[in-house]
């Protein structure tokens, strides 16, 4: 069984997928080096406040993840970027930004995702109007405990724009980011918790509530929180003299254009293949799909395998997924890695 014993594995990326994968591999006997490009691990999770569907504090998840990676077999190296991968016989050489060559028996890519840069949808006015913020900005506000407009006022009317940078061929992202609908629902409810009298509106094209307990959350947001859902994609945002935001949308169900004045607008930024992932794909000939995420070797039974022997994927570098799925995917990579060791030793 212990074919994985003392095998050297490099995990690239220290977010949810990377930490979990490293932890599980270490427990299977591998000697793991975890590379994180930033100064600390935790990835996007550490920027989030509460997580859907149960509104638990994300710190709990973060703590679990850090504990997972706290193992004698794991060396965590922060501030290191992987430049390219190279096969050398059976081993894979990871070249780092610092010019090192780390020799390993297998590599797990957990390079994750980047949040869509909302400035690319200029018509929504991010970085132009002060009170247009992104879902990530709002999460920071939640963490800091105060949701305020730029001028310090408490916003009374808040809108959420779904599908910003997702499902939009104008920014070359035709795919759905899967999480932003439920994130919007969660954030809308949280706004209500922060600002009791606030009126909250969600502008959506479709409510994609595919996860466990999502639909329930959606219903609760209507029933108990009075969140108003308007079906239509926002076309543009402008401001008026007292710097209220004016949103243009068609209420497609009523069949009439609708204008609304808001104090604050939250853009539900989608997920994109991370830039670091993209660079690795280019430098190391790893296949990517039409949506620019890594293309797994097989959609059904090889979602952790790449087109390069000894190189594996974990988490959102292959597609948008929530934390639950990311952790499952990261666990699954261990099965593929150990399988691989068994085969090359045979």
Partner 1 sequence: MKFDPFVIPFNIGLFFILIYAVVRSIIWFRALSRPDKLRLQRGFFGRPFGQSLKEIFLESLIHRKIFKTNFLLGYMHMSLAFGWFLLILFGTIEADIFGDSHLNPPYKAIFFKYFNPVHGMTGIEAAYSFLMDLILAFILSGLLLAVIKRFYSRVVGMRKTTKLKTLDRIALTSLWMIFPSRLLAESFTSGAYGSGSFLTGSLGSSLASFLPAIEMAYPFWWLYSISLGTFFILLPLTRYMHIPTELFLIFARNSGIRTGDQPGAFMEMQIYSCSSCGICIDACQLNFSAGITNIQSAYLMKGLRNAEDVRDIASNCLMCGRCDIKCPVGIELTPVRMIARRSGDSEAGSKNGIWKKYFPERHPVAPEKQSHEPAYGWLPEAKVPKADVLYYAGCMTHLTPAVKNAMVKILDASGVNYDFIDRDGGVCCGRPLMLAGQDREARELINYNSQLIWKSGATTLVTSCPICYKVFRESYYLNVEVLHHTQFIRRLILKGSIRLSFLRKKVSYHTPSELGRRSGIYDDPKLVLMHVARFQKTGFDDENSLCCGGSLGNTRISHDQKNKIALDAVHELTKADPDILATACPLCKKTFAGVSDTPVADIAEIVAEALSLPVPPAGRKGKKILKHRETANID
Partner 2 sequence: MEGFGFSVLKERHINYDANDKSIAEYIAEREPSFRTCIECGCCSATCTTGAFTNFSLRELQILLKRGENEIAREQISKCMLCGKCILVCPRGVNTRNVILLAREAFRKLMKNEV
DSSP 96-141: ETTS-EEEESEEEE---EEE--GGGSGGG-BTTBTTEEEHHHHHHH
Q: Smaller CB distance to partner 1: residue 120 or 231?
A: 120
Q: Does 181 bind ligand SF4 (CB under 6 A)?
A: yes
Residue of 112, 133, 88 lying closest to 37 (CA atoms): 112
CB of 170 to partner 2, least distance (A): 6
Q: Which helix (H) or strand (E) holds 37?
A: none
Site string for partner 2, 166-205 (x = CB under 8 A): -xxxx----------------------------------x
Q: Does 260 bind partner 2 (CB under 8 A)?
A: no
Task: Number of residues interacting with ligand SF4: please give it, by CB under 6 A.
Answer: 13
Q: Smaller CB distance to partner 1: residue 60 or 275?
A: 275
* Region of 107-115, 121-129, 173-181, 323-331 interacting with ligand SF4 (CB under 6 A): 173-181
Pick the binder of partner 1 from 129, 175, 218, 340 (CB under 8 A).
Answer: 129
Q: 215: which residues sit within 8 A by CB, 6+ positions away?
A: 209
Q: Does 128 bind partner 1 (CB under 8 A)?
A: yes
- Residues making up the chain, counted from first to last: 346
43 binds, among partner 2, partner 1, ligand SF4, none (CB under 5 to 8 A by kind): none
Tokens of 70: 């706290």
273 binds, among partner 1, partner 2, ligand SF4, none (CB under 5 to 8 A by kind): none
* Secondary structure (3-state) at 143: helix
CB of 236 to partner 2, least distance (A): 6
Q: Does 170 bind partner 1 (CB under 8 A)?
A: yes
Q: Does 258 bind partner 1 (CB under 8 A)?
A: no
Q: Which helix (H) or strand (E) holds 257?
A: strand 256-262
How many of the other CB atoms lie within 10 Å of CB of 259? 9
Pick the binder of ligand SF4 from 34, 51, 65, 176 (CB under 6 A).
Answer: 176
CB of 345 to partner 1, least distance (A): 44
Q: For residue 44, give the DSSP letter.
A: G
Distance CA 81, CA 14 (A): 11
Residue with tokens 């004045």: 261
Pick the binder of ligand SF4 from 151, 206, 236, 282 (CB under 6 A).
Answer: 206
Site string for partner 2, 148-167 (x = CB under 8 A): ---------------x---x
Q: Does 207 bind partner 1 (CB under 8 A)?
A: no
Using an 8 Å Cβ cutoff, are 114 and 275 in contact? yes
CB of 231 to partner 2, least distance (A): 8
* Region of 13-21, 149-157, 216-224, 232-240 interacting with partner 2 (CB under 8 A): 232-240
Q: Which helix (H) or strand (E) holds 24?
A: helix 16-27
33 binds, among partner 1, partner 2, ligand SF4, none (CB under 5 to 8 A by kind): none
Q: What spatial distance separates the first Cα and last Cα of the chain, rounded to whole Å?
A: 12
Q: Does 255 bind partner 2 (CB under 8 A)?
A: yes
Using an 8 Å Cβ cutoff, are 117 and 127 in contact? no
Using an 8 Å Cβ cutoff, are 180 and 269 in contact? yes
* Residues 250 to 269 in contact with ligand SF4, rule: CB under 6 A: 268
Phi first, then psi: what are they for 230, rounded to 5°?
Answer: -120, 125
Phi first, then psi: what are they for 46, rounded to 5°?
Answer: -70, -15
Residue of 21, 62, 20, 68 lying closest to 44 (CA atoms): 62
Q: What is the contact surface with ligand SF4 in residues (CB under 6 A)?
A: 162-163, 166-167, 176-178, 180-181, 206, 208, 268, 270
Q: What is the contact surface with partner 2 in residues (CB under 8 A)?
A: 123, 163, 167-170, 205, 231-236, 248-252, 255-258
């Amino acid at each position: 069984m212990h074919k994985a014993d003392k095998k050297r594995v490099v995990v690239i990326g220290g977010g949810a997928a990377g930490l979990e994968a490293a932890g599980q591999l270490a427990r299977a006997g591998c000697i793991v080096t975890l590379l994180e490009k930033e100064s600390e691990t935790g990835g996007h999770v550490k920027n989030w406040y509460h997580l859907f569907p149960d509104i638990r504090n994300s710190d709990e998840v973060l703590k679990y993840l850090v504990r997972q990676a706290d193992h004698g077999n794991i060396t965590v190296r922060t501030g290191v970027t992987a430049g390219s991968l190279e096969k050398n016989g059976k081993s894979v050489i990871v070249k780092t930004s610092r010019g090192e060559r780390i020799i390993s028996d297998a590599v797990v890519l957990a390079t994750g995702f980047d949040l869509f840069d909302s400035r690319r949808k200029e018509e929504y006015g991010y970085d132009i109007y002060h009170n247009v913020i992104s879902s990530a900005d709002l999460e920071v506000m939640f963490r800091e405990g105060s949701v305020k407009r730029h001028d310090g006022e408490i916003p009374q009317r808040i809108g959420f724009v779904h599908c910003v940078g997702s499902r939009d061929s104008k920014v070359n992202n035709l795919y759905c980011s899967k999480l932003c609908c439920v994130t919007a629902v969660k954030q809308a409810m949280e706004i209500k918790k922060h600002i009791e009298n606030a009126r909250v509106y969600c502008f959506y094209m479709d409510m994609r509530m595919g996860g466990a307990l999502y639909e329930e959350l959606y219903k609760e947001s209507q029933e108990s929180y009075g969140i108003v859902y308007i079906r239509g994609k926002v076309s543009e945002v402008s401001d008026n003299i007292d710097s209220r935001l004016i949103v243009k949308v068609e209420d497609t169900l009523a069949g009439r254009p609708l204008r609304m004045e808001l104090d604050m607008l939250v853009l539900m930024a989608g997920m994109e293949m991370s830039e670091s992932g993209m660079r690795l794909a280019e430098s190391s000939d790893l296949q990517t799909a039409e949506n620019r995420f890594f293309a797994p070797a097989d959609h059904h039974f090889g979602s952790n395998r790449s087109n390069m022997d000894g190189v594996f994927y974990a988490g959102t570098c292959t597609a948008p997924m929530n934390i639950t799925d990311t952790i499952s995917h990261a666990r699954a990579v261990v099965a593929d890695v150990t399988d691989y060791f068994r085969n090359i030793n045979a």
